[in-house]
Amino acid sequence: MNKTNPPDNVDPMKQINRALGLFLLCFGLIILMAVLFTETTIGKITNVIAGLIFSLIGVLMIGIRKSKAASSATDIGS
């Protein structure tokens, strides 16, 4: 079996949302870690807000993908 090709039943949009969500989550965490190296108060506040926004968007993109998959599975069963 060729492991580089995804299964036929996987929606490409779900894969894109997951990859983009993971990227945004990691990027947000990196920005949050940058708070430790920022000297000014306004810089720290800016980094915290930006890091939280990016992380939240990343988590939502991953979570929406999973919740849509779960809801479509229950719709099929009923």
What's the pLDDT score for residue 34? 96
The pLDDT value recorded for residue 64 is 80
Q: What angle do CA 19, 21, 26 make, to 5 degrees?
A: 95
Give the pLDDT of residue 67.
64
CB atoms within 10 A of CB 22: 14
Confidence of residue 11 (pLDDT cuts 50, 70, 90): confident
Give the chain's radius of gyration (CA, Å): 17
Copy the structure tokens of residue 64.
């929406």
pLDDT given at position 50 = 97
pLDDT of amino acid 10: 74
Report residue 27's pLDDT band, with 50, 70 and 90 as the boundaries: very high
